[in-house]
Structure 1
Amino acid sequence: MMRLLITGCIICCCLHLQAQQVVTYETAKKKAQASFDNAINAIRNYQDDEAIRYLQEALRIEPNFADAYGQMGISYVQLKQYTNAITTFEKLKQLDSTALRPALTAYSRALAGNGRFPEALQVIDQYLAGSRNKSPNALKLKASYEFAIHAANKQVPFEPHNLGDHINTKDPEYFPSLTIDDKTLIFTRRVNGKNEDFYISHRDSSQWNPAADMGEPINTVFNEGAQQISQDGQMLVFTGCEFPDGKGSCDLYVSMKTKNGWTAPQNIGAPVNTRDWESQPSLSADKQTLYFVRETPDNGADIFMTHQLPNGRWSTPERLGPNINTPGRETTPFIHADNQTLFFASNGHPGYGGMDIFYSRRQPDGAWGPATNLGYPINTIDEDASLVVAADGKTAYFASDRTDSRGALDIYSFELYPEARPLPTLYVKGYVYDSTTHQRLTANLELTDLETGFTTALVKSNDSGEYLVPLPVGKAYAFNVNKKGYLFYSDNFTLPAQAATPPEKNIPLQPIIANATIVLHNIFFESKQYALQPASQVELDKLVKLMQDNPSLVTEISGHTDNVGSDKDNLLLSANRAKAVVAYLTQKGIAPERLRAKGYGETQPVADNNTEEGRAKNRRTEFKVINP
C-alpha cells in the first residue's frame, strides 16, 4: 500500500482553506504544532498508533486543526482501521472540503476497505478529474473498484475464527500447513520480530494443543520460513535464507521424519535452486510434484513446478502457464490433497486490491484452467495471500492481522464456500509385503482417474513398506501396486461424495511364479457384453508393461461370471471377455503364443451368488502365470 503522506503539502501551504474557523499548521498554537511534529516523526518510524495519539492531542488543543484530521485519517488507513478513517475524513470534509483533496486516495481506500466500492469509485474519480498527471496508483485503485462493483453480486460467505492462544501469540504466525488426517499443524513464527522458526501443534479431538518449537535440526540461527509438511507427515519442505550452503538469497530445503526424529535439512540443489530467489514451496499429496515461487530480476515472481525423478533428484522446473502466471506477481501456491485444485495469490489477475487469492482447476489434459478470484470479503483491498485448505475440502486456513489478533499476524480458519472447494480427500494407508515370505517391500503405488486416465497419485512405500495414498472422493480410481519380480496388485476405489475413510489396507504382492493369480479389478464390460469399456485401458496397459518387462512370461487370461442366466450363455460370455483382453494385448505387440484365453462361466465362484455384492465379486477377469 502506498503511504499518502500529506504533511509536505500541508506544511508548504498547498492547502486552500475556505472556512475562517479552519486551523492550519501555520495558524495552529505551538503546542498543537509540537504534537503534530511528534506525529510525523512517529509516522516516519512506522508507528501509526503513536502518531494517532499525538494527533488526537493536537486536536484537543485545536479542534479545527485540518492538517491533523487529514494525517490522522491516513494513519487509520495504514492501520486498516477503515471505519475510524472514514469518520475522520468526513469530519475534515465538513470542516473544509478543499482540505480533503490531498487525502482523496486514502479516503477512497477507507471506503473500499469497508466494502463501499461505489463511493470509493466516486472519490477516486474526483481525485483523477482534478489531477494533471494520472497517478498509476490511483488508476490501479480505480480498476480495482470497478472490478469490485462488477462482481458485487458475487460476495461470498466468510466468517474467520482465530485459532486461539494455543497457536497465536504476540509474535506474527503465518504459513500454516497440515497433514491429510488434519491432526498436525506446522506454521512459521517470527520470534521477537526477528528470527523465523517453525512451530508444531497436534490436534486432540477438536482442539489444537499448545504449539511447540520444532527445535534442532529444523530450527537454527538462520532464517527458516514458508514451509509445508507433506500430507503423510513424513517430509518437510521449506525456505532457507542466507544459509551457508545456499545457491541464492533464499533456497528450498527438505527434511525427512525418521524414528529418530527429523533429519538435518538438505538443500534441494540444482536445477530447482539457483542464484535467484526460490521460496514458498507446496508439495503434492504423493510428494512427486513440487510447486514453488521463483523471483528473478527480469520476470518478477512466478510459480514453477518440478517433478521428482526416479533417482530422487528433481526435474528442471517449468513455469506454469498464462492461466496462472501474469506479468504481475504470483506467490504462495498451494496444491490441495486432491491434486486437482491450485490456490495462489496474484496482483496480475483482475482483483479487489493488492494481492488477491485465486484458484484454478486441473483440466482433463493436465493443464490448469482459468484463475477464479475467491471473491469479497475473502479478498479485500489489502494484501491477501497464503491460503491453505484441509483435506476435507472446506476448512481453510490463512494468516491475518485482524482486530482480534493477539498482536500481529495470527492464523485463522473459516469454512470455504462450496463453489471454491476442492474435492474432499480421504486416504488409504497400510503396508506392502511379499505374500509368501511376509517381508515388507518398497513398491510403487499408483492411483489413476478411470475417467480421464490422469495419474492422481504416484507413491512409493518406505523402507518399512508403509504407504499413504490420497483418495479424492466422488470419482472412480484404478489402484495398482507394482514391484519388479512381482505380479502387480489391482484394486478399485469408487468413492461417493460422502464417503467414509477407507480402512487400512495391507497389500500382498505375489512373486512371479507358476500358478500365481491376480484379479484384474479394473477390467470393465457392460452387462452381458464382452466389448471392453474405455476405463479398462489403464489396467490393460499395466498388463502390457508386465508382459514386456518379463519376456518369458506365459499367462492365462480367464473370464468368470455369476450364476444369473444359463450355464451355456455364461460360459460363452466369459470366454469372449477373456478373448477381448487377449486381443488388446496382442494388438499392443504381445506375442499370441504367450497368451491363453479361457472362459469358466459360473463354475469357479469366489463369493455367495445369493447377494449382489457376492455376484459382483464373481464377475471378474483373472490373470494367471502358466510359465514364469
Structure 2
Amino acid sequence: MKRLSSACSLSLFLLLCVTFYGMAQKPARILSHPQHVRIERLYRLNSPFRETNPSITPDGRYLYFMSTRGGKPWSEARRRPDGSYEYDGDIYYSLKENGTWSAPVCLPPPINTWNGEDEPVVTPDGNSVYFQSWEGWEIKKGPYQMAQIINGKWINPVGLGDGITKYFLDQAAMGRELATDGMTVSPDGNLFIVATGPYYGNMDLYYSRRDARGKWSYLRKLPISTPGNDRHPFIAGDGKTLFFSSDGYGGFGGLDIFKVVMYSEEQFGEVVNIGSPFNTAGDDECFIITADGTEAYFTRNGDLFYANVEKANPALKPQPTVLLAGKLIDAHTQAAIEGSVVVTNAKGEVLAQGRSTNKGEFSLVINDLSGSYFVKGTATNYQPNSIRIEVGAIKSTVRLNAIVPLTSKARLAQIEEERRRIEEEERLRIWKMYEEAQAAVTTGIMALERIN
C-alpha cells in the first residue's frame, strides 16, 4: 500500500469516520467447513518483515507478492506508524516445483525501484505481471503498469493509462489523499478492480473495464463496497468469483475475508463470509485460491499462510473452469519455441490467450465449458498452426494438455525447394522416357522400311 499525495485534514478524516460509523451492511452469512482445514505459515517465503498482496496463477505454479525485506541497492528504510522499521516494498515471485516453493526472487529494475512497488497480479500464463508504482506515475501513465518477460528477460513496463490514470489524476487535482491496497485483473485481462481511498481511512472497491479497442474505462465504485473498509480484491480463475477483505459485513472482527459471485460489474450474488479458520478477531486479508479450488493462500499479521482446501466447504471454491497446459515445439527438431497462443471456440471467439516461455511451455485458463477448442500457436519465423481439442461438455474443473507443433519458415523453404527438385527430377525422368520411346519408335519405323 502506498500513499499518493496528502491534502486532507485530520478533521475531515474524523468527520468521515463519524459519518460512516454504524452504517455497516447487513451481516453476511458465515460459511462453516465440515472438516478441519489446516493452515500453515509459509516459512519458505516469509521474512522478518511484512509480506502482503499475493497473486497466484490459476494452475498454482507461480506466486507473486510484495515484501518489505529490503536488501537491494535501491532499498530505503522507513518508519511505520507503530514505530517499527521496514523497507520500501519490492515485488517477488516463487515457482512451485515438485510441490515445493522456490526461494523468492526479486524482480529487477525498472519494475522494482527505490520508491516501492506493490500489488502484483500475475497473468495466467505466468509471463506478465501487473503492478502498482508511484514512481513517475503521471508520466508513465500509472500508477498501474504491466511488464512482460520476453526471451527470459523482463522488458520495460507500460502504464495502463486511460480511465485508470485519469481517475488518479483527477483525485490528485482535487487535493485528495489517496492510497491503494490491493488490485486484481480478470484472467481474460479485461476487468480491473482496485481498493482505493484515504491512506488512514476506509477504502472502497472500484473497477475499470477494457473495451474492444484496448482502452480502460474511468474507475467506478463497485456496488458491493460498504461504508466500512474494503480491501484486497482477488478475481479467481473462473473470472466470476471475487474475494475481498472488509469490516463492513460483520464477522469475527477486524477485516474478514468474503466471497461473492460477479454476474456483471453491477450485479452480484450473495456476499458470504468464508468463515474460520481463515477469519479471526484480527485482520485477515489477501485471500487467493487456485482455479481448481484445492490450494488457498492469505495474509495475517504481515505473513503469508497456506491452506489445503480440498475438503473445505464447496461454497468456498470458484466455479468450474478449464486449465490448459501445453508446449509450442518445432515440428522438425522438437525444440521449444517462445511464441503466442490463442484459444478459440468453433465460432472463432477468443476464449484465452497468452505466451509460451523460452522453454515453450504455456498455461491458460478457459472459462468456456463446451469442451471444444482450437489452440493456435504463432511465433517469429514460424508458420502458424492450430490443433483441435474435443473432450465433450465439462462439469467440473479439468486439466487439459496440448502440444502445438510449428514449422519454421526456413524449414518450409527447404520443403518447397525439395518439392521443386523432386518435380524437376520427375519432369526430366518423364522427358527421358518420352525421348527413349520416340527413339524406339523411330528405330522400329526404320527397320520396317528396310524390310520393305
What band does the TM-score fall into relative to the shorter chain?
Answer: 0.5 to 0.7
Tell me if the contact between 2:207 and 2:265 (Cα under 8 Å) persists in the aligned partners: no
Confirm whether residue 470 of structure 1 aligns to residue 360 of structure 2: no
Secondary structure at the aligned position of 2:252 is classed as: coil
Match of 1:421 in 2: 317
Confirm whether residue 280 of structure 1 aligns to residue 280 of structure 2: no
Match of 2:39 in 1: 160
CA–CA distance in 1 between the matches of 2:280 and 2:101? 28
Tell me if the contact between 1:353 and 1:380 (Cα under 8 Å) persists in the aligned partners: yes
Post-superposition Cα deviations, 1:109-147, rounded to whole Å, max 9, x if no partner, equal xxxxxxxxxxxxxxxxxxxxxxxxxx979x869x89x95
Tell me if the contact between 1:431 and 1:507 (Cα under 8 Å) persists in the aligned partners: yes
Tell me if the contact between 1:239 and 1:279 (Cα under 8 Å) persists in the aligned partners: no
Match of 2:197 in 1: 295
CA–CA distance in 2 between the matches of 1:399 and 1:279? 13
CA–CA distance in 1 between the matches of 2:386 and 2:184? 31
CA–CA distance in 2 between the matches of 1:151 and 1:316? 34
Q: Count how many residue pairs are aligned between Structure 1 and Structure 2.
A: 352
Secondary structure at the aligned position of 1:470 is classed as: strand
Larger RCO of the pair (alpha carbons < 8 Å, separation 6+): 2
If each structure's helix is expressed as a fraction of its own residues, which one has the higher value?
A: 1
Change (3 A) 1:289 1:481: farther
Alignment of 1:70-85 (within 5 A): none
Q: 225, 250, 260: which is aligned to 1:360?
A: 260
Q: 385, 388, 395: which is aligned to 2:288?
A: 388
Matched residue type, 1:173? E
Matched residue type, 1:269? G
Kindly state the Cα deviation for residue 293 of structure 1 after the two structures are TM-superposed: 2.7
Kindly state the Cα deviation for residue 208 of structure 1 after the two structures are TM-superposed: 1.5
Q: 196, 207, 231: which is aligned to 1:304?
A: 207
Confirm whether residue 327 of structure 1 aligns to residue 227 of structure 2: yes
Tell me if the contact between 1:285 and 1:457 (Cα under 8 Å) persists in the aligned partners: no
Kindly state the Cα deviation for residue 258 of structure 1 after the two structures are TM-superposed: 0.9
CA–CA distance in 2 between the matches of 1:487 and 1:334? 34
Matched residue type, 1:160? I
Change (3 A) 1:259 1:456: closer
Post-superposition Cα deviations, 1:579-625, rounded to whole Å, max 9, x if no partner, equal xxxxxxxxxxxxxxxxxxxxxxxxxxxxxxxxxxxxxxxxxxxxxxx
Kindly state the Cα deviation for residue 203 of structure 1 after the two structures are TM-superposed: 2.1
Change (3 A) 1:432 1:479: farther
Matched residue type, 2:351? A
Change (3 A) 1:499 1:352: closer
CA–CA distance in 1 between the matches of 2:385 and 2:141? 48
CA–CA distance in 2 between the matches of 1:477 and 1:269? 36
Kindly state the Cα deviation for residue 341 of structure 1 after the two structures are TM-superposed: 1.2
Kindly state the Cα deviation for residue 220 of structure 1 after the two structures are TM-superposed: 1.4
Kindly state the Cα deviation for residue 380 of structure 1 after the two structures are TM-superposed: 2.7
Change (3 A) 1:502 1:248: closer
Confirm whether residue 206 of structure 1 aligns to residue 99 of structure 2: yes
CA–CA distance in 2 between the matches of 1:170 and 1:369? 39
Tell me if the contact between 1:432 and 1:442 (Cα under 8 Å) persists in the aligned partners: no
CA–CA distance in 2 between the matches of 1:387 and 1:147? 20
Kindly state the Cα deviation for residue 152 of structure 1 after the two structures are TM-superposed: 9.4
Match of 2:108 in 1: 215
Bigger Cα displacement from structure 2, 493-502 vs 338-347: 493-502
Change (3 A) 1:429 1:169: same
Kindly state the Cα deviation for residue 296 of structure 1 after the two structures are TM-superposed: 7.1
Matched residue type, 1:426? L
Alignment of 1:22-61 (within 5 A): none
Match of 1:178 in 2: 56
Match of 2:153 in 1: 261
CA–CA distance in 2 between the matches of 1:205 and 1:282? 27
Post-superposition Cα deviations, 1:307-360, rounded to whole Å, max 9, x if no partner, equal 2644xx4321453642x2233332211111121211112233343323221111
Alignment of 1:342-357 (within 5 A): 342-357=242-257
CA–CA distance in 2 between the matches of 1:296 and 1:256? 31
CA–CA distance in 1 between the matches of 2:113 and 2:58? 27
TM-score by length of 1: 0.47
TM-score by length of 2: 0.63
CA–CA distance in 2 between the matches of 1:369 and 1:456? 26
Tell me if the contact between 1:284 and 1:290 (Cα under 8 Å) persists in the aligned partners: yes
Match of 1:501 in 2: 399
Matched residue type, 2:207? F
CA–CA distance in 1 between the matches of 2:286 and 2:35? 18
Alignment of 1:109-128 (within 5 A): none
Post-superposition Cα deviations, 1:264-293, rounded to whole Å, max 9, x if no partner, equal 223222221222445522122233333323
Matched residue type, 1:400? R
Matched residue type, 1:370? E
CA–CA distance in 1 between the matches of 2:22 and 2:390? 51
Tell me if the contact between 1:433 and 1:441 (Cα under 8 Å) persists in the aligned partners: no
Kindly state the Cα deviation for residue 299 of structure 1 after the two structures are TM-superposed: 9.6
Tell me if the contact between 1:179 and 1:231 (Cα under 8 Å) persists in the aligned partners: yes
Change (3 A) 1:175 1:300: closer
Kindly state the Cα deviation for residue 458 of structure 1 after the two structures are TM-superposed: 3.5
Kindly state the Cα deviation for residue 410 of structure 1 after the two structures are TM-superposed: 1.4
Post-superposition Cα deviations, 1:200-245, rounded to whole Å, max 9, x if no partner, equal 222231222222322323221111011111121111111113x123
Kindly state the Cα deviation for residue 494 of structure 1 after the two structures are TM-superposed: 3.4
Change (3 A) 1:214 1:338: same
CA–CA distance in 2 between the matches of 1:288 and 1:481? 20
CA–CA distance in 1 between the matches of 2:97 and 2:362? 24
CA–CA distance in 2 between the matches of 1:193 and 1:296? 21
Match of 1:400 in 2: 300
Q: What RMSD over aligned residues (CA atoms) do the two structures have, in Å?
A: 4.6
Task: Report % sequence identity.
Answer: 20
Change (3 A) 1:415 1:460: closer
CA–CA distance in 2 between the matches of 1:156 and 1:333? 26
CA–CA distance in 1 between the matches of 2:152 and 2:339? 21
Change (3 A) 1:171 1:491: same
Match of 2:276 in 1: 376
Secondary structure at the aligned position of 2:315 is classed as: helix
CA–CA distance in 1 between the matches of 2:404 and 2:50? 43
Tell me if the contact between 1:447 and 1:477 (Cα under 8 Å) persists in the aligned partners: no
Match of 2:305 in 1: 412
Tell me if the contact between 1:252 and 1:279 (Cα under 8 Å) persists in the aligned partners: no
Tell me if the contact between 2:31 and 2:275 (Cα under 8 Å) persists in the aligned partners: no
CA–CA distance in 1 between the matches of 2:98 and 2:361? 25
Post-superposition Cα deviations, 1:66-103, rounded to whole Å, max 9, x if no partner, equal xxxxxxxxxxxxxxxxxxxxxxxxxxxxxxxxxxxxxx
Tell me if the contact between 2:41 and 2:304 (Cα under 8 Å) persists in the aligned partners: yes
CA–CA distance in 2 between the matches of 1:331 and 1:388? 13
Q: 373, 379, 400: which is aligned to 1:479?
A: 373
CA–CA distance in 1 between the matches of 2:284 and 2:400? 36
CA–CA distance in 1 between the matches of 2:98 and 2:356? 28
Change (3 A) 1:214 1:158: same
Matched residue type, 2:239? N
Match of 1:341 in 2: 241
CA–CA distance in 2 between the matches of 1:252 and 1:362? 23
Change (3 A) 1:432 1:314: farther
CA–CA distance in 1 between the matches of 2:116 and 2:254? 26
